[in-house]
């Protein structure tokens, strides 16, 4: 089992380039299956475990997929299978994003029903409600969800009870080939939704309003493969921004888009961090003394839940009491227990965590409970006394490419070791 071992105390400086966004590339690769003619060529694709999983899913479906030098090519013009077995959904919940494209193109799709995970129960009822409104029959049983339509889906007006990212994406993809107009109300507004809409539109779809709370999709007869560049990963960018802030360092995060990061930037500025927009990214300069603040996670443009645990690491180093309230997922505080192993003073009260800072964090053996929690433990390790050993890297590898190597290139005392190798530090 691999571990990342980090010794705290170094100030980080230099430049790091952000990869393409995991949460944009997964739906875009799924959407490439709708194209019944031509190839899609996707650039800036990060070499993440999740990308390899969705590539396997598409290959299983009979699409021709290749991945080389951050470019994925998908040719889905041959007839596709419409079932994805459990092994893929187990590895990655985003596998449910094949439902919309397959339903649109073939009127049928079947995938294993995703279970809960470390951050919450994560139902897909809103995805299914959308498909049903468009005329599909939904059957859930024996651990599978199957959706079936007689002929083309029908455009419909769909109100989402919560602005779910995945439901918005799945419905948008299904509606791209539906008969007539679909209106999604209370849709998610994340930048990744806009990227998917742009991709669909290049393929010949008619989607307007992505990035606002009402998306309108006029169905078309068919879509074709196109070339597309994935947007930068705002969560990876945010993770490096916290690395600069937590170590009192100075990092240029190349490719970070201010427009996608406004809530994070404003909270970090409240904490005393200097953030400047430069031509090719954001420069982040950590202060000598971080100030406490409060955050509440919300759908975009509110504060992203995927940055909550990294901010907790930062708040542990800030002077005063900070409060974090998690409203998106009901159980995204598994990292609290791990931070406590590092001497953190944290109290959970319902959906909030009270963070007493600053704490002298102590290195310890800790486990990544989800991908962002793993990144947050590494960030905490950058300021802890002694060695922090982070295990369960399988989670981190889902969402970060070479995180330890990139932090090392910025001056961190960090390395990734496998149990088979001789551990040279600690």
Residues making up the annotated binding site are 22-23, 93, 122-126, 306, 328
Q: Does 398 bind ligand UD1 (CB under 6 A)?
A: no
- The answer to whether the CB of 35 falls within 8 A of the CB of 200 is no
Q: Give residue 117's Cα distance to chain centre.
A: 14
Residue 123 binding target from ligand UD1, ligand PEP, none, CB below 5 to 8 Å by type = ligand UD1
Task: Tell me if residue 103 falls in helix, strand or coil.
Answer: helix
Q: Does 95 bind ligand UD1 (CB under 6 A)?
A: no
Among residues 292, 333, 314, which one has the least CA distance to residue 380? 314
Proportion of the chain in helix, strand, coil states, percent, rounded to 5 = 35, 30, 35
Binding to ligand UD1 (CB under 6 A) within 100-139 occurs at 120, 122-127
Q: Does 371 bind ligand PEP (CB under 6 A)?
A: yes
Residue 291 CB, nearest approach to ligand PEP (Å): 26
Beta-bridge mates of residue 47: none
State how far the Cα of 344 lies from the Cα of 373, in Å rounded to an integer.
14
Residue 371 binding target from ligand UD1, ligand PEP, none, CB below 5 to 8 Å by type = ligand PEP
Binding to ligand PEP (CB under 6 A) within 21-40 occurs at 23
Q: Does 358 bind ligand UD1 (CB under 6 A)?
A: no
Computed over its alpha carbons, how large is the radius of gyration of the chain? 22
Residues contacting ligand PEP: total by CB under 6 A? 8
Tell me, what DSSP letter sits at residue 67?
E
Binding mask 222-261 for ligand PEP (x = CB under 6 A): ----------------------------------------
Residue 222 CB, nearest approach to ligand UD1 (Å): 26
Task: Tell me if residue 126 falls in helix, strand or coil.
Answer: helix
Residue 372 binding target from ligand PEP, ligand UD1, none, CB below 5 to 8 Å by type = ligand PEP
State how far the Cα of 365 lies from the Cα of 384, in Å rounded to an integer.
12
Q: Does 143 bind ligand UD1 (CB under 6 A)?
A: no
Task: Tell me if residue 171 falls in helix, strand or coil.
Answer: helix
Residues designated as active site: 117
State how far the Cα of 153 lies from the Cα of 175, in Å rounded to an integer.
7
Residue 58 or 203 with smaller CB distance to ligand PEP: 58
Position of minimal CB gap to ligand UD1: 166
Residue 160 binding target from ligand PEP, ligand UD1, none, CB below 5 to 8 Å by type = none
Residue 155 or 166 with smaller CB distance to ligand UD1: 166
Among residues 108, 76, 109, which one has the least CA distance to residue 95? 109
Binding-site annotation, residues for UDP-N-acetyl-alpha-D-glucosamine: 93, 122-126, 306, 328
State how far the Cα of 215 lies from the Cα of 197, in Å rounded to an integer.
10
- Residue range at the interface with ligand UD1 (CB under 6 A); choices 10-18, 71-79, 164-172, 355-363: 164-172
- The answer to whether the CB of 187 falls within 8 A of the CB of 147 is no
Q: Does 372 bind ligand PEP (CB under 6 A)?
A: yes
Binding-site annotation, residues for phosphoenolpyruvate: 22-23
**The dihedral of CA 196, 193, 169, 72: what is its sign?**
positive
Residue 55 CB, nearest approach to ligand PEP (Å): 15
Beta-bridge mates of residue 296: 325
Binding to ligand PEP (CB under 6 A) within 278-317 occurs at 306
State how far the Cα of 47 lies from the Cα of 36, in Å rounded to an integer.
26
Q: Does 162 bind ligand UD1 (CB under 6 A)?
A: yes
- Give phi and psi for 232, each to the nearest 5: -65, 150
Residue 91 CB, nearest approach to ligand PEP (Å): 10
First-to-last alpha carbon distance for the chain, in angstroms, is 17
State how far the Cα of 322 lies from the Cα of 335, in Å rounded to an integer.
16
Figure out which of the listed residues 54, 94, 245, 375 binds ligand PEP, where binding follows CB under 6 A. Answer: 94
Binding site for ligand UD1 (CB under 6 A): 23, 26, 94, 120, 122-127, 162, 164-167, 188, 305-306, 328-329
Binding site for ligand PEP (CB under 6 A): 23, 93-94, 119, 306, 371-372, 399
């Amino acid at each position: 089992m691999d571990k990342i071992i980090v010794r705290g105390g170094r100030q980080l400086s230099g430049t790091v380039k952000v990869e393409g966004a995991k949460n944009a590339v997964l739906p875009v690769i799924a959407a490439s299956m709708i194209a019944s003619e031509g190839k899609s060529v996707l650039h800036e694709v990060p070499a993440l475990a999740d990308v390899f999983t969705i590539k396997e899913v598409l290959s299983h479906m009979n699409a021709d997929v290749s991945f080389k030098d951050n470019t994925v090519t998908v040719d889905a013009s041959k007839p596709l299978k419409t079932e994805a077995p459990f092994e893929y959904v187990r590895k990655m919940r985003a596998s449910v994003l094949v439902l919309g494209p397959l339903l649109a193109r073939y009127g049928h799709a079947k995938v294993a029903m995703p279970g809960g995970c470390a951050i919450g129960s994560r139902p897909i009822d809103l995805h299914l409600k959308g498909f049903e409104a468009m005329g599909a029959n939904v059957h859930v049983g024996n651990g599978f969800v199957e959706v079936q339509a007689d002929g083309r889906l029908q455009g419909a007006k769909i109100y989402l009870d919560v602005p779910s990212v995945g439901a918005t994406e799945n419905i948008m993809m299904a509606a791209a080939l539906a008969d007539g107009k679909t209106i999604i109300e209370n849709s998610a507004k994340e930048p990744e939704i806009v990227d998917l809409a742009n991709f669909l539109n290049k393929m010949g779809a008619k989607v307007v309003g992505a990035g606002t709370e009402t998306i309108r999709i006029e169905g078309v007869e068919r879509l074709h493969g196109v070339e597309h560049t994935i947007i930068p990963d705002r969560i990876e960018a945010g993770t490096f921004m916290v690395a600069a802030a937590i170590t009192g360092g100075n990092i240029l995060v190349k490719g970070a888009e201010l427009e996608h990061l406004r809530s994070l930037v404003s909270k970090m500025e409240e904490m005393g961090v200097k953030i400047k927009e430069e031509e090719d990214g954001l420069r982040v300069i950590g202060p000598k003394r971080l100030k406490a603040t409060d955050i509440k996670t919300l759908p975009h443009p509110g504060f992203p839940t995927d940055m909550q645990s990294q901010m907790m690491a930062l708040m542990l180093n800030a002077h005063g009491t900070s409060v974090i309230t998690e409203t998106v997922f009901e159980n995204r505080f598994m990292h609290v227990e791990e931070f406590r192993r590092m001497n953190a003073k944290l109290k959970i009260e319902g959906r909030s965590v009270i963070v007493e800072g600053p704490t002298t964090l102590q290195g310890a053996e800790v486990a990544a409970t989800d991908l962002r929690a793993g990144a947050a433990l590494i960030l905490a390790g950058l300021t802890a006394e002694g060695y922090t050993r982070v295990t369960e890297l399988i989670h981190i590898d889902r969402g970060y490419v070479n995180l330890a190597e990139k932090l090392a290139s910025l001056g961190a005392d960090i390395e990734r070791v496998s149990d088979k190798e001789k551990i040279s530090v600690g």
